[in-house]
Structure 1
Amino acid sequence: VTAICPGATQSEFAQTADMGNPSMFNKAPTSRELAEFTYKAMIKGKTTAIHGAKNSFLTFTARFSPRKVVTAIAAKMVE
């Protein structure tokens, strides 16, 4: 079993959720790119796969950061 943590993905989600055009979707990967990434991670036997350097970095640093800081960063990303 591989748990995928894709982050933002190019889709109609933002429009459907009436989010406007948040910057987090500007350079988001396509569903196909994520499917290929997920398949490769699964073949390698990874239990968790985080897509993108930025997502990996944020996930790693969140472990050591105060919750208020993590929450503020997440809120800024959704703007």
Structure 2
Amino acid sequence: MMNTENFNGPVNLGNDGEFTVRELAELVLKETGSSSKIVHKPLPQDDPARRKPDLTLAKQQLGFEPKVSLVEGIRKTIEYFKNNLD
């Protein structure tokens, strides 16, 4: 990120895979061993139809490449909160 003298602005970071909110919720339930139920709510009118980050700028300007899969990221996040919540 140090070689960005000619670049200023927002950049998407993340995994360039496309997952539904339901898939993400199911993965979190599975990885936490939770018996919580998924509650479906109406979507707001301005809700994006697709949730896939465009990583073009990050790749071009920062040399960014995703290295952590969604499953691995969820597992690491769960572990972090297990270790850092009171």
Q: TM-score range by the shorter chain?
A: 0.3 to 0.5
Which protein shows a greater Rg? 2
TM-score by length of 1: 0.32
- The structure richer in strand per residue is 1
TM-score by length of 2: 0.30
